[in-house]
């Protein structure tokens, strides 16, 4: 009979043993094969942004002097086209998890997006004779 094991090392803080030392990963592995206990993932783990999304927000915190330098950095760091990067960023700034992670950056990006939309709408209304 195979024993199913669930590792909780990423979900729980380091536990201390009876001697006061921190428990190793092997000490924290739980055997769930004969258990009826339900293990729930905390909201903090479910609501966490992916490492890529965090790196995108970190890149948006930086200021770029030259027009092409940001696009070059996007290609270097993420290995994707700037168009795909901005598609992901546009979805990310609508994500409430991103707002909790970095509220100032997300609010600034939302303001910039709204200003660009208003500019496009203003130019769309052309008077015809």
Helix, strand or coil, per DSSP, at residue 16: strand
User: pLDDT at residue 80 above 70?
Assistant: yes
Distance set, CA 84 to CA 75, 101, 105 (Å): 10, 22, 19
Q: What is the mean pLDDT of the chain?
A: 77
Domain spans of the chain, in order of start = 1-46, 49-124
Predicted confidence at residue 48, as pLDDT, reads 86
**pLDDT tens digit sequence for 3-16:** 444 444 444 455 55
Residue pLDDT, tens place only, 18-67: 555 555 545 555 554 554 545 454 544 556 899 999 999 999 998 888 87
Query: So what's the pLDDT on residue 29?
Result: 52
Question: Tell me, what's the pLDDT at 66?
Answer: 82
* Residue 86: φ, ψ to 5°: -70, -25
Q: Residue 123: which pLDDT band, with cuts at 50, 70 and 90?
A: confident
What whole-number percentage of the chain has pLDDT above 90?
49
How far lies 34's CA from each of 3, 7, 27, 57, in Å? 9, 16, 18, 43
């Amino acid at each position: 009979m195979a024993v199913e094991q669930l590792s909780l090392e990423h979900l729980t803080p380091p536990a201390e043993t009876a001697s006061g030392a921190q428990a190793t990963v092997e000490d924290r592995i739980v055997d769930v094969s004969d258990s009826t206990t339900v293990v729930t993932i905390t909201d903090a783990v479910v609501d966490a942004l992916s490492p890529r999304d965090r790196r995108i927000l970190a890149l948006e915190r930086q200021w770029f002097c030259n027009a092409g330098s940001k696009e070059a950095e996007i290609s270097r760091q993420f290995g994707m086209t700037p168009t795909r990067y901005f598609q992901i960023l546009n979805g990310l700034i609508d994500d409430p998890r991103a707002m909790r992670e970095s509220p100032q950056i997300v609010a600034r990006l939302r303001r910039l997006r709204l200003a660009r939309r208003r500019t496009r709408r203003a130019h769309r209304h052309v008077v015809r004779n």
